[in-house]
Structure 1
Amino acid sequence: MVKVKTKMNRRAIQKISSAQLQALEQVVDGKTEGILTEIANEQVVPKQTGELERGAWVDKTGLKRGKVKIVYDTPYARRLYWHPEYRFRQDKNRNAQGKWLEPWVNGEKTESLVGRFKKLVKRLAGGFIK
């Protein structure tokens, strides 16, 4: 019979847990590398007056559970988002389209988002993650 005794490093676990939340917050709401800045730079949000783009914000009420939401709070945001068949003006935002968040949710931008998150967690964990 083999006996094993383990001892959990609670400080390390706490540091890693808090690093994940900090990294998530920085990825979605960072000033220069935040997702809203990235979306604006990609020029995918339909734009006529710019109100839809300016009305975007990050809802961090679920941050402690590891969930955040990107909210567009104009009355017409849902209609424009879920109807990619509309012909959007492309003189102000050259890549304007419906379902403009899809590249970050399930598409080509997902990997860069996950990669940024991983780098931040590793850095913020204070050396506990190699």
Structure 2
Amino acid sequence: MGIRITLNQKAIAKLGDAILKSADLTMESLKTDVFSEEVMPFNVGTMQNTNTFVDTYQNGDKICSSLVTTGPQPRRLYHHPEYNFQTVNNHNAQGYWLESWIDGRKKDFVRDAYAENLKREADL
């Protein structure tokens, strides 16, 4: 007596697509939350509104999703919290502007947003 297992390839493919889409949606949610918290240094808005974007891709079995800020100034501004950032446009502008989401008061944001997005996208 043997056991026969048949995998539903359509369901597996749908789950894979849901994982990729959920990763992208999660980073978009993070970007929106960072913008609404007004923590990025903001002069004319180029760094925040033009040079910050989500990059999501699949490399083999690994899915990577990143919140990216390009340009000459982000690294310097991020790693120098001692700078006196103007707060006219973004009232909470600061260096290390992602720390609240890494190990601060919003550290569960990405995990929770991903779980919510995956449930919705995979119809779980």
Instruction: Flag the 1:87–1:11 CA change in 2: closer, same or farther, 3 A.
Output: same
Q: CA deviation at 1:16?
A: 2.0
> Quick one: distance in 1 between partners of 2:9 and 2:103?
35
Match of 1:69 in 2: 66
Match of 1:43 in 2: 38
Structure 1 range deviating more: 5-14 or 50-59:
5-14
Q: CA deviation at 1:112?
A: 2.5
Match of 1:58 in 2: 54
| Identical-pair percentage | 32
> Quick one: distance in 1 between partners of 2:63 and 2:102?
16
Match of 2:3 in 1: 5
Instruction: Flag the 1:63–1:106 CA change in 2: closer, same or farther, 3 A.
Output: farther
Instruction: Flag the 1:125–1:6 CA change in 2: closer, same or farther, 3 A.
Output: farther
After the TM superposition, which segments of 4 or more aligned residues of structure 1 sit over 6 Å from their partners?
A: none
Which one has the bigger strand percentage? 2
Match of 2:25 in 1: 26
Check conservation: 1:25, 1:63, Cα contact below 8 A: no
Check conservation: 2:27, 2:66, Cα contact below 8 A: no
The residue type paired with residue 68 of structure 1 is S
Check conservation: 1:16, 1:125, Cα contact below 8 A: yes
- How many residue pairs get aligned? The number is 120
Instruction: Flag the 1:124–1:40 CA change in 2: closer, same or farther, 3 A.
Output: same
Consecutive unaligned residues of structure 2, counting only runs of 5 or more, are: none
Match of 1:103 in 2: 100
Consecutive unaligned residues of structure 1, counting only runs of 5 or more, are: none
Please, what is the CA RMSD of the aligned residues?
2.1
Using structure 1 for the length normalisation, give the TM-score.
0.77
